[in-house]
Amino acid sequence: MELGIKRRCDEMRKHFIHSAFVIERGVSLWKYQSLGLELSMRHQRGWIIRILRNGNRHFDRTGFNCANAPYEFQEAYSFNRVPAAGTFGAFGVGHGEYMWFDNYPQSITLSTFWN
């Protein structure tokens, strides 16, 4: 898996102090402002990881983050089109994980859902 959502979420919850915690509609949102990362948990499982521009987080396979250009993601992950800010639609990265660029370059979201 790209980030191994469940494993990464569990590690983050154990080893880092979150700066905010919110529960809304059955989803727990853990915010790690100093890391530039947000984790969403549903039913005790990692559901969404959001990498924020102001942090030092990156994707494992490529080392990419919000500072990388969209065409770099297209080339590295073999997307059929270049991701664009505000373009609603998921880009499959394999193993049931999808990237969303809706709020690029402020953040990039990795999730287990495509719709």
Q: Which of 85, 91, 88, 83 is nearest to 110 (CA)?
A: 91
- Residue 44 has a pLDDT of 74
Helix (H, G, I), strand (E, B) or coil at 73: helix
72-99 per-position pLDDT tens digit: 999 999 999 999 988 778 999 988 899 9
Whole-number pLDDT of residue 2: 46
Please, what's the largest Cα pairwise distance for the chain?
A: 38
Distance (Å, whole) CA 16 – CA 32? 8
Q: What pLDDT is stored for residue 27 in this prediction?
A: 79
Q: Where are the alpha helices (DSSP H) in the chain?
A: 5-15, 70-77
User: Which residues of the chain are under the pLDDT cut of 70?
Assistant: 1-24
pLDDT at 8: 58
pLDDT, residue 35, reads: 84
Count up the domains in the chain and report the number. Answer: 1
Q: Which domain holds residue 31?
A: 5-111
Lookup result for tokens 């727990």: 28
